[in-house]
A and B are shown apart, each in its own frame.
Chain A
Amino acid sequence: MLNLSLQSLALHLEKKTFSSAELTQFFLGRIKQHNPSLNAFISIDEEKSLTMAKKADELIAKGKKSTLTGIPVAQKDIFCSQGWPTTCGSKMLENFIAPYDAMVIEKFNEVGAVNIGKTNMDEFAMGSSNETSYFGPVKNPWNLDLVPGGSSGGSASAIAARLAPAATGTDTGGSIRQPASLCGFTGLKPTYGLVSRYGMIAFASSLDQAGPMAISAEDCALLMNVMSGHDKRDSTSIERDKEDYGSKLNSSIKGLKIGIPKEFFGEGLDSSVHTLIDAAIDQYKKLGAEIIEISLPNNHLAIPVYYVIAPAEASSNLSRYDGVRYGYRTKEYDDLTDMYFKTRQEGFGEEVKRRILIGTYVLSAGYYDAYYLKAQKIRRLISEDFTNAFKQCDVIMGPSAPSVAFNAGEKKEDPLAMYMQDIYTISTNLAGLPAMSIPAGFVSNLPVGLQLIGNYFTEAKLLNIAHSFQKNTDWHLKSAKGFE
Chain B
Amino acid sequence: MTIRKKDIEKIAHLARINISQEESQKLENKLVGIMSLIDKMQTVDTANIEPMSHALDISQPLRKDEVTESDLRKNILPLAPETEEYLFIVPQVIE
Measured between alpha carbons, how far is A348 from B16 in the docked complex, in Å?
A: 12
CB interface residues, A 315-361, toward B, < 8 Å:
315, 319, 322-329, 333-342, 344-345, 348, 353-354, 356-358, 360-361
Are B8 and A379 in contact, CB atoms less than 8 angstroms apart?
Answer: no
**Residues of chain A lying within 8 A (CB to CB) of residue B39:** 304
From B34, B39, B91, B93, name the one whose CB has the most chain A CB atoms within 10 angstroms. B34
Chain B proximity of A32: nearest CB distance (Å): 29
**Residues of chain B lying within 8 A (CB to CB) of residue A341:** 16-18
Contact among B34, B38, B42, B60 with A235 in the assembled complex (CB-CB below 8 Å): B60
Measured between alpha carbons, how far is A48 from B72 in the docked complex, in Å?
A: 23
Task: Indicate with 1 or 0, residue by residue over B1-41, a CB within 8 angstroms of chain A CB atoms.
Answer: 10100011011101111111000000100110111011111
Contact among A315, A381, A416 with B34 in the assembled complex (CB-CB below 8 Å): A416
Are B79 and A96 in contact, CB atoms less than 8 angstroms apart?
Answer: yes
Chain B proximity of A444: nearest CB distance (Å): 30
Are B56 and A192 in contact, CB atoms less than 8 angstroms apart?
Answer: yes
Are A361 and B3 in contact, CB atoms less than 8 angstroms apart?
Answer: yes
Measured between alpha carbons, how far is A415 from B12 in the docked complex, in Å?
A: 19
Are A238 and B18 in contact, CB atoms less than 8 angstroms apart?
Answer: no
Contact among A192, A303, A348, A377 with B37 in the assembled complex (CB-CB below 8 Å): A303
Chain B proximity of A280: nearest CB distance (Å): 27
The reply to whether the CB of A18 lies closer than 8 angstroms to some CB of chain B is: no
**Residues of chain A lying within 8 A (CB to CB) of residue B54:** 206, 236, 432
Q: Is the interface of A mostly helix, strand, loop or mixed?
A: helix
By beta carbon, the residue of chain A nearest B16 is A340
The interface on chain B, measured as residues whose beta carbon lies within 8 A of the other chain's beta carbons, has a size of 52
**Residues of chain A lying within 8 A (CB to CB) of residue B38:** 304, 307-308, 358, 362, 371
The interface on chain A, measured as residues whose beta carbon lies within 8 A of the other chain's beta carbons, has a size of 74
Contact among B31, B58, B80 with A325 in the assembled complex (CB-CB below 8 Å): B80
Measured between alpha carbons, how far is A380 from B50 in the docked complex, in Å?
A: 7
Question: Contacts A354-B34, A361-B7, A415-B33 given: A193-B17 contact, CB under 8 Å?
Answer: no
Are B49 and A380 in contact, CB atoms less than 8 angstroms apart?
Answer: yes
Question: Contacts A344-B17, A348-B17, A378-B44 given: A206-B53 contact, CB under 8 Å?
Answer: yes
**Residues of chain A lying within 8 A (CB to CB) of residue B50:** 377, 380
From A100, A300, A341, name the one whose CB has the most chain B CB atoms within 10 angstroms. A341
By beta carbon, the residue of chain A nearest B44 is A378
Are B56 and A232 in contact, CB atoms less than 8 angstroms apart?
Answer: no
The reply to whether the CB of A97 lies closer than 8 angstroms to some CB of chain B is: yes
The reply to whether the CB of A373 lies closer than 8 angstroms to some CB of chain B is: yes
Measured between alpha carbons, how far is A301 from B14 in the docked complex, in Å?
A: 28
Are B40 and A304 in contact, CB atoms less than 8 angstroms apart?
Answer: yes
Given contacts A304-B38, A325-B80, 6 further A-B contacts (CB under 8 A): A206-B54, A333-B91, A356-B17, A364-B11, A381-B46, A430-B55
Q: Residues on B close to A: CB < 8 A? A: 1, 3, 7-8, 10-12, 14-20, 27, 30-31, 33-35, 37-42, 44, 46, 49-56, 58, 60-61, 63, 72, 75-76, 79-82, 88, 90-93
7 contacts between A and B (CB under 8 A): A325-B76, A341-B18, A345-B18, A353-B27, A354-B31, A357-B31, A361-B31
The 6 closest A-B pairs by CB, nearest first: A432-B55, A376-B51, A329-B81, A345-B18, A380-B52, A377-B46
